[in-house]
Chains A and B, each alone.
Chain A
Amino acid sequence: MMGKFEAQIPGDRLYARNHMWFQADGDAFRVGFTSYSVRLLQDVYFLDWAIDQQSAVQEKGEIGEIESSKALSTLYSPCAGQIVAFNETLLDDPSKINTDNYGEGWLFRMQTEANMLTPDDYLKLLDEGWDETQRLIKGQLN
């Protein structure tokens, strides 16, 4: 829950602490934003990646940038691994992030050995993290 709003967290995939979902797809995972992220971002206008495909990434390494109606943020890798491909169609039109964030709005494919959160763990993280998120947002209003 974020305040009184329920976040839709599908049970058929795993999650990372930085609000991305992981779904097994061949030899890699498909990765995208959870509804929680999308809810905070709102309309996405622009997405750009700061690294090339096939790059090895560290956890919390910078991988890109996103601009939306509500926010401007750097994007960071959810875990260590290798990003094998980006969803190229989002570069021209990122609107699928809003309309289909668990499907065609996927962000990239990634190979990783990292441990992920189960849907239940992620929901718990959201519950615990909501106060922190509000502090983060409100802290920037002053």
Chain B
Amino acid sequence: MAAKKLTVVISQGQGNNPAKRQLEEDILTELVLEPKIDVSVVPHLYDMSKDHTGLLFLRSVVGDIIFLSWLYPRGAHWILDRQGVKGHEGETLLKSESDEELEDDIPSLDEDEKQYPNAIGTPEVPNRKIYSLDLRDHSGPQVYVAEILRIADEQSVETVSLGGFDLGSPAAPPTNGQTENGNIGHEPIADQPADANRLAIKEATKRRWYPVIDYSRCTNCMECIDFCLFGVYGVDGLDRILVEEQDSCKKGCPACSRVCPENAIIFPGHKTPAVAGAPGEVAGMKIDLSKLFGAPSAIELAAQERDVELEADGRETVGMSVGIPKRQSGHQSEEKDEMDTLMDSLDSLDF
């Protein structure tokens, strides 16, 4: 009898960055012939609507899932949770190249429970694991493939050692195709020949914007529901906070996330790592042309933020007219250079 397969789902990045597409394809190609793995491709997780085929597929998976996306693992985990794909956070040994020193901060569920003793948690989490891997961590497919195979091996070892008393993983070996958890799993797909096209779910998506709550941190303090004036938040039958009207959320506004005392509100699409669910600050890989396109100075930004608050209080905005310190900007001149030399020199740099 064929062993139970591990489900791997690759969630595509937004945009047309060829390097991203290549990495997705390379991982798919490597995994598609792996006997222990069922691999599928879905659009960007955050952009899929509730009844998108990709989410229907994800909800239909009963066993463990390895989920690869261009999102922070914490962001991906709690979007999945919000979309009804629940599970315990699987521990991955994969670390980002840039923040290995921060690895203690990467929250596994256990650590989170210690760090956030008052967190309300998620009810009715099925007894399976979801491993979220961040495709931004490494540039080549090998690290991901190795980690996926490691997790797959770990599962078979776990299964053997626990024998019939497997309580931890619904990916236990099927007994007559069905485990005591009612797990029917993936057998219908498992024996079909590999076909990369069949594995890709291509239904269109739209850009979306809404908060997701990390219930391993949320203490149900209700500051977000008090702060948000647009009716995004609500409570369920047990008076637990939830994102009730996600489409009422104002595109680009992460304010409730900044208000949350536990940093439990994630906007996975926000450019500030802490708001997007990062374990720590992540160094940018590209040059920042923000100044060229008119980025405000720190003072201008502060004045804007103050105006927003004044306006919210029904008061007159004051812009830069009140209480702005006068500072000198010291400019140094530098030698001229040619455009192409300059831009091309970026490519030869080893970041």
Contact = CB atoms under 8 A, between A and B. Distances in A.
B302 to A, nearest CB: 12
B16 A94 contact: yes
Contacts of A37: 292-293
A78 B294 CA distance: 7
B293 A138 contact: no
Nearest to A36: B292
B192 interface: no
A24 B345 CA distance: 39
A138 B346 CA distance: 9
B292 A131 contact: no
A73 B288 contact: yes
A71 B295 contact: no
Contact of A76 (B207, B295, B333): B295
A95 to B, nearest CB: 7
Nearest to A45: B17
Contacts of A11: none
B271 A65 contact: yes
A46 B250 contact: no
B207 A52 contact: no
B177 interface: no
B289 A46 contact: no
Given A4-B338, A74-B271, A78-B294, A51 B251 contact: yes
Interface residues of B, number: 41
A139 to B, nearest CB: 9
Given A45-B15, A46-B17, A62-B252, A39 B290 contact: no
A18 B337 CA distance: 21
Contact of B336 (A3, A40, A47): A3
Given A3-B336, A74-B271, A74-B290, A95 B304 contact: no
B252 A50 contact: yes
Contact of A141 (B252, B296, B340, B345): B345
Main secondary structure of the interface of A (DSSP, over half): mixed
B289 to A, nearest CB: 4
A93 B340 CA distance: 26
A48 interface: yes
Q: Which of A65, A72, A94 has the most CB of B within 10 A?
A: A72
B338 A71 contact: no
A134 B5 CA distance: 54
Contacts of A78: 294
A124 interface: no
Contacts of A49: 251-252
Interface string A23-56: 0000000000000010111100111111110000
Given A60-B294, A73-B293, A39 B339 contact: yes
A130 B103 CA distance: 42
Nearest to A1: B339
B65 to A, nearest CB: 26
Contacts of A71: 286-289
Contacts of B349: 141
Nearest to B332: A135
Nearest to A62: B252
11 contacts: A3-B342, A17-B294, A45-B18, A49-B252, A59-B294, A62-B252, A73-B288, A74-B290, A93-B16, A94-B15, A135-B332
Interface of B: 14-18, 207, 250-252, 269, 271, 284-296, 300, 304, 307, 331-334, 336-340, 342-343, 345-346, 349
